[in-house]
Every structure is written in C-alpha cells, then in structure tokens.
Amino acid sequence: MDKMLRRMREYLTLHAISIYGAAPSSLLETAPAGHRPSDLLPDSQGLFCVGVEVPGGVLRVGPRAEATYWRTANVIYRYLDAILARCATMLEETGELAVPVFGCFPYEVKGKGDFWGYVSLVKMAEVSGLGKLGKNGLLINSKAGPRLFLGGIVTTARLPAMTSSGSLETGCPQDCFVCQDACPVKAIEPNGKVDRLKCVRHSMRSPLFLHLLKSGDVPEADIGMLNQVSGVDDHSMYTCIACVAACPLADPATGHQQ
C-alpha cells in the first residue's frame, strides 16, 4: 500500500495536482441514507479527495466571468475525472476496489431540481482535510478559497489519513457575510445554510434540456438521463457565480495563503 500511495502522489504531482487528502469512510456514514460511502461501495473503508484550482482571474472579467467560469468548469472536470479514474485503478492494483465520485456528473435529481451527488464531495473534502465548509455551501481551502473543483474516490482500501498541504484549514471568518449580501436571490441564509433549490434555479440553465422537455413526448423514465446528458459540461450554463466572485478569499492576492 505504501508503495502504491507513493506512486499515486507522484502521478498527482506530474499532473499538477497539489491539493488532495484521504480519510476513513466511516466519517461519512452518518450522511443521509443513499448517500453514504457504503451505499456506493459496500465494504468501503477509505475516501480520497482531490481539488483543482480555478484561476482567480476567471472571476475578474466582469460580464464575461460566467461564460469563462463555465468553460473552465468544462475542461477542469474532464481533466479531474480522468485523473480520478486512473487513481482508482492504481488503488485496485493492491487488490482492493475503488470507485470515482466524479466532479459534476452523474448526480440524482430529487423533487423539482434538487441535485444530489452520489456522495457529497464537499463533505468528503472536509473530512479529508482539504478545507472547511463555507457559508456559501462550497469548500473553503486555505490556498484557493472557494475556487476549487472537487472530485473523490471511495475505496475498500484503508487509507492513512493525509493532507497534501498540511495547512490548518480555518474556513470562513466569523464576521464575513459578503456572499450572503452578494446573492441576488438571497439563497444564503444568515446562519450559512444555502437554499440549494433557490440557488440552482437562479444559477444554472440548460437550454437543450428545456428544448427536449418542450418537444413533448418524453417518457418519464428517460427524463433523468436526458437531464444528465443535456445538462452536463458544455450543455448547461452558469447564470450566477456572484457568491464565489465576491468572496474575499477567492482573490489570489488577498485570499488565504498556505
């Protein structure tokens, strides 16, 4: 296992991944039923989580920020997902099982537009030492603030607890409420709870999915897959990133430092 972990670290370094960590999967076994590590992979023992930074300048290009953030997400998520798949096969070379929890897709849609990943990546990242849950519902990392795309792995391997940075993750300052003030639909409550439905309705748009729905005859059983196919990566748009753009910790010049 030590040899494999060393190879995995070398692989991550080679691919410019400097933010990652591992933790026992038992730490997330109190998550809602259906979204626990053991719901994804019976006999799971370990979690591995990776973060890729979004360039700070992406958020500083005024009206072009949403489209630039959208394209950044498209390319980073694919890159991240391929790295996760490779790391999972490396873990399996030790005789264990490992399954990637990809950064964006697939997800489950509950009710009218509440998106749930198979296992919460923000929680995986938090227990793996990559940062703290911020008041905007995103992970706050000591280097990148909320400018981090996340992916993970659930595995039957018992991984030693580790974090790449070794920094003390502190999350949001107690007296900061900038993101709450910046949210145009007041989706972030004063206690830091995010109304995800309110946020998703305002911040995401999938013209292709809407077009398909309006075409009429879509069987109920196909709606989930149509949503996944037409709403992922290049097919959907960000229509709001105000809470990330306004966050003082998102600025590489003034945000957190390692």
Residues contributing to the site for ligand SF4 (CB under 6 A): 134-136, 140, 146, 172-173, 176-179, 182-183, 185, 187-188, 194, 199, 202-203, 240-243, 247-249
Write down the least CB distance from residue 108 to ligand SF4, Å.
Answer: 20
Nearer CB in complex with ligand SF4: 65/242: 242
Three-state SS sequence of the chain: CHHHHHHHHHHHHHCCCCEEEEEEHHHHCCCCCCCCHHHHCCCCCEEEEEEEECCHHHHHCHHHHHHHHHHHHHHHHHHHHHHHHHHHHHHHCCCCCEEEECCCCCEEEECCCEEEECCCHHHHHHHCCCCEECCCCCEEECCCECCEEEEEEEECCCCCCEECCCCCCCCCCCCCCHHHHHCCCCCECCCCCECHHHHHHHHEECHHHHHHHHCCCCCHHHHHHHHHHHHCHHHCEECCCHHHHHCHHHCCCCCCCC
Q: How far is the CB of 179 from ligand SF4 (least distance, A)?
A: 3
Nearer Cβ to ligand SF4 (83/144):
144
CB closer to ligand SF4 out of 87 and 243: 243
Q: How far apart are CA 53 and CA 256, in angstroms?
A: 13
Quick one: 129 or 131, whose CB is closer to ligand SF4? 131
Shortest approach of ligand SF4 to residue 122 CB, angstroms? 12
CB of 201 to ligand SF4, least distance (A): 8
Of 86 and 202, nearer to ligand SF4 (C-beta) is 202
Q: Considering the complex, state which of residue 86 and residue 198 has its C-beta at the smaller distance from ligand SF4.
A: 198
Q: How far is the CB of 142 from ligand SF4 (least distance, A)?
A: 12
| Min separation Cβ 245 and ligand SF4, Å | 9
